[in-house]
A and B are shown apart, each in its own frame.
Chain A
């Protein structure tokens, strides 16, 4: 079975984000960009399925600027077979991403789409679920463990208060949480090999998808800063402050 893995190019998770002075967004100039950490987990899971003989082909898709091809290369170096870059310099909202992915699914007919549960830039946590709805497929979000059968999948999910296992019919969409696996580092030979793997270049219009945003960003601001307080020296002093100054115990 084919497995499709969408990957997003985002600001690296170690970078301290700066809001632009004109309040139009955050400063992305000369900032280190990487694959969304959740998407690394998706790619890893897909590659493991291939290594176990469950998946026949792993396709990595990215929607974004030309540089998003580097993100696809990272997925290819980890073990994905080929890539599709849907090139656009515009900001693409989760719904439009889901529509493009749906069109790709109609063409490629994967049995499983594995997405990250959220991207660490817009923190939306929507794309996988929207894609599943548009396709009329089942979903297993925030996946902790996957048992893939031929016609169905058992997905253990991280939920408020514990874990839940859903049995979903294939084809399905799975969104991954942090503890599904530990993504590998690509080895040098695999990075070299990845350079020869094909990446098809497309545009949103090729899929007939209108990517015009439905939300207008009026402004992006810095959150109120929390001031550092004081250091106390002893447990007794701490308790005294909590009781008599803060009044919280």
Chain B
């Protein structure tokens, strides 16, 4: 029962998401191989080879894979698929983009956002914004899974001794190309693997007021997040959104500021270890899941909190 894990990376750095998917793949029981598709990604492949539990790394290094375009990822993964019983990718925007194409061409079901592996053919996944968990059994010969990375611990990043094998790129279908990519520049940790997240909602009132949260986030070495309401209001860019249709996070500490706690938002953060809610409405639903709630005016509380942390 060999598994193929598709690596998440930016051509320079292997993302922690990959190490988490390796853990999930290891639970299937067989040898674990990792596919690194990128451009100038030898360093990424070397990092993947050091992951505990990885037997072999396949490196497809070509301009075609620089941005992991779905159509080219599909043909590359399909060219390898018949050697594997399971193909796994993290449920990132990349994984969500290319994996269903692979499943469709293999004529198998994809199991999305797997949070637990019960056996090599039985998986648990959240449905209805995490308000129910479905345990599903796959009858397909090849399992195609995307993994919710918050549900698995990362495999150790040292100690592995996998071989790196270079593989030939596949032909380009020539139907799609990336013409522009603008990533939010930030010195803060990434939302997906931050230990602490400070998140703001509509209660902040403006993008200027979000700066106040930035000061607090800097003190806590935290990533910044937001509710859908705050993103829709234009206070912060879309990639800040935490929730059912945004990012799913599970940091050690999640500080929700001016967020009422719609179920769609809770779906994205309720697995955080410790949740703090700061809101002026004592009946806000966020307090029902918060470990520590502070009712009051965030415009007084946040500066006070930041000041206390500085002293």
Contacts and interface: CB of A to CB of B under 8 A. Distances in A.
Contacts of B274: 242, 246, 248
A56 B239 CA distance: 34
Interface residues of B, number: 90
Contacts of A74: none
B9 to A, nearest CB: 12
Interface stretch (B18-26, B169-177, B203-211): B169-177
Contact of B128 (A123, A156, A160): A123
Interface in B93-149: 93-94, 96-105, 107-113, 122, 126-140
B228 A178 contact: yes
A221 B135 contact: yes
Contact of A235 (B112, B126, B137, B294): B294
A214 B128 contact: no
Contacts of A221: 132-133, 135
Contacts of B239: 158-163
A169 interface: yes
A125 interface: yes
A117 interface: yes
Contacts of A235: 294, 301, 304-305, 308
Chain A interface size, under 10 / 10 to 19 / 20 to 34 / 35 or more: 35 or more
A95 B109 contact: yes
A34 interface: no
Interface in A204-225: 213-223
A67 interface: no
B139 to A, nearest CB: 6
Interface of B: 67, 69-71, 74, 92-94, 96-105, 107-113, 122, 126-140, 173-184, 190, 192, 196, 220, 228, 231-232, 237-239, 244-245, 247, 252-253, 263-264, 270, 273-276, 282, 287-295, 301, 304-305, 308-309
Contacts of B67: 164
Instruction: Say what secondary structure dominates the interface of chain A.
Output: mixed
Which of B99, B134, B136, B138 has the largest number of chain A CB atoms within 10 A?
B134
A17 B308 CA distance: 41
A229 B291 contact: yes
Given A160-B192, A162-B239, A216-B136, A236 B308 contact: yes
A215 B103 contact: no
A139 B136 contact: no
Contact of B100 (A11, A126, A156, A165): A126
A130 B100 contact: yes
A216 B139 contact: yes
Contacts of A234: 294
A185 interface: no
B86 to A, nearest CB: 14
A239 interface: yes
B184 A161 contact: yes
A217 B71 CA distance: 30
A167 interface: yes
B132 to A, nearest CB: 5
A158 B96 CA distance: 12
Contacts of A13: 264
A168 interface: yes
Given A121-B128, A129-B70, A228-B290, A164 B181 contact: yes
